[in-house]
Structures are given as C-alpha cells and as structure tokens.
Structure 1
Amino acid sequence: MNLESPKVTVDKSSEYLFTALTDVKNFEKLMPDTISKFEVLGEDAFIFGLKGMPEIKLKMKEQTPNSKVVLGAASDKLPFTLTGNIISLEENKSEVQLLFEGQFNPMMAMMIKGPISKFIETLSQNMHKL
C-alpha cells in the first residue's frame, strides 16, 4: 500500500527541515491533536499513540542530507516506512511531501488506508511548526 501526502511549501531552507526531521523529538510538533502518547526512545526512535489506534514505534532508517528522511516501523508486525522528501525551492523555501509505504494484507490495508492518509496529511500540514 502506497500513500502520498499533498506537497506543502514551507518557509524554511531544505537544510533546516532536514535537520529538524532527523531530530525525532520534533515529530511531536507534527502530530495531530488526537495524539494520546509521544515518547522519545533514543536519538533515532520514538513511540506514539493516537486515540483509537495501537501505539506505533518508529525508528530512523535512512537519511540523505537536505533531501530525504526515512522512518520505519520498529516492529515486523506492521512493516512500513514513512519517507519525507524535501525539495529546495529557494534559499528559505522548500517543498515537503510524505510517502507511506506498507506491506499489509488486503483486509488490513482497507481498514487503515483512511486513518493513515489523514495522519500523513496532518503531519505534512504541520511542517510549518518546525
């Protein structure tokens, strides 16, 4: 299952956004209002919970300076990645798009597609809070 957030333009440099997104503490600022738990588990991992959803642990998987940050599920039960692509538009203006890629059975995919789509859309819309 592959989902894409809308592209958002942020009045920050790609370098600033990359640095902010590689610091897992900053993901708390991006979370939706329905967050029920957020806990940093180390320099490269955090766990979060949204009301009505199981808690999810994310771990930093890959980084490409100033252009890409990839987080992945720390559990094999729900294998997925969340990729933040950053494109520099001007010195202090960048475009960010989040991509969700997961391996789920058709029933699970049908159940989580709506909530996950809304979740990554909210994360991208909150990029200006970084």
Structure 2
Amino acid sequence: MNLESPKVTIDKSAAYIFNALTDVKNFEKLMPDNIAKFEVLDNDAFIFGLKGMPEIKLKMKDKQEFSKVILGAASDKLPFTLTGNINSLDENKSEVQLLFEGQFNPMMAMMVKGPISKFIETLAQNMGKL
C-alpha cells in the first residue's frame, strides 16, 4: 500500500527542514490533536499513540542530506516506511511531501488506508510548526 500526502510549501530552507526532521523529538510538533502518547526513546526512535489506535514505534532508517528522511516501523508485525521528501525551491522556501509504504494484507490495508492517509496529511500540514 502506497500513500502520498499533498505537497506543502514551507518558508524554511531545505537544510532547516532536514535538520528538524532528523531530530525525532520534533515529530511531536507534527502530530495530530488526538495524540494520546508521544515518547522519545533515543536519538533515532520514538513511540506514539493516537486515541483508538495501537502505539507505533518509529525508527530512523536512512537520511540523505537536505533531501530525504526515512523512518520505519521498529516492529516486523506492521512493516512500513514513512519517507519525507524535501525539495528546495529557493534559499528560504522548501516543498515537503510524505510517502507511506506499507506491506499489509488486503483486509488490513482496507482498514488502515483512511486513518493513515489522514495522519500523513496532518503531519505534512503541520510542517510549518517546525
């Protein structure tokens, strides 16, 4: 299952956005209002929970300086990645898009597609809070 957030334009440099996204504690600022839990586990991992959903542990998997940040599920039960693509528009303006790639059975995919789409859209819209 592949999902994309809308592209959002932010009045910050690509380097600023990249550095903010590689500091996992900043993801708390991006979370939706219905967050029930957010806890930084170490420099590369955090756990979060939304009301009515199971807690999810995300870990930094890869990063390409100033252009891409890849987080992945720390558990093999729900294998997925969340990629932040950063595109520099000019010195103080960037475009960010989040891509979700998950390997779910068809029943699970049907159940989680709506909530995950809304979740990554909210994360993208909140990028301006960084």
What is the TM-score when the length of structure 2 is the normalising length? 1.00
What is the aligned length? 130
**What residue is the counterpart of 1:35 in the other structure?**
35
Distance in 1 separating the partners of 2:65 and 2:118: 27
**What residue is the counterpart of 1:104 in the other structure?**
104
Distance in 1 separating the partners of 2:50 and 2:3: 19
Give the letter aligned to residue 41 of structure 2.
L
Distance in 1 separating the partners of 2:95 and 2:42: 28
**What residue is the counterpart of 1:81 in the other structure?**
81
Task: Tell me, yes or no, if structure 1 residue 47 matches structure 2 residue 51.
Answer: no
Q: CA deviation at 1:64?
A: 0.1
Q: CA deviation at 1:59?
A: 0.1
What percentage of aligned pairs have identical amino acids?
85
Give the letter aligned to residue 74 of structure 1.
A
Root mean square deviation of aligned Cα: 0.1
**What residue is the counterpart of 2:21 in the other structure?**
21
What per-residue deviation string (whole Å, max 9, x for no partner) do you get for residues 1-31 of structure 1?
A: 0000000000000000000000000000000
Give the letter aligned to residue 79 of structure 1.
P
**What residue is the counterpart of 1:6 in the other structure?**
6
User: Could you list the runs of 4 or more consecutive aligned residues of structure 1 that deviate by over 6 angstroms after TM superposition?
Assistant: none
- Unaligned runs of 5+ residues in structure 2 are none
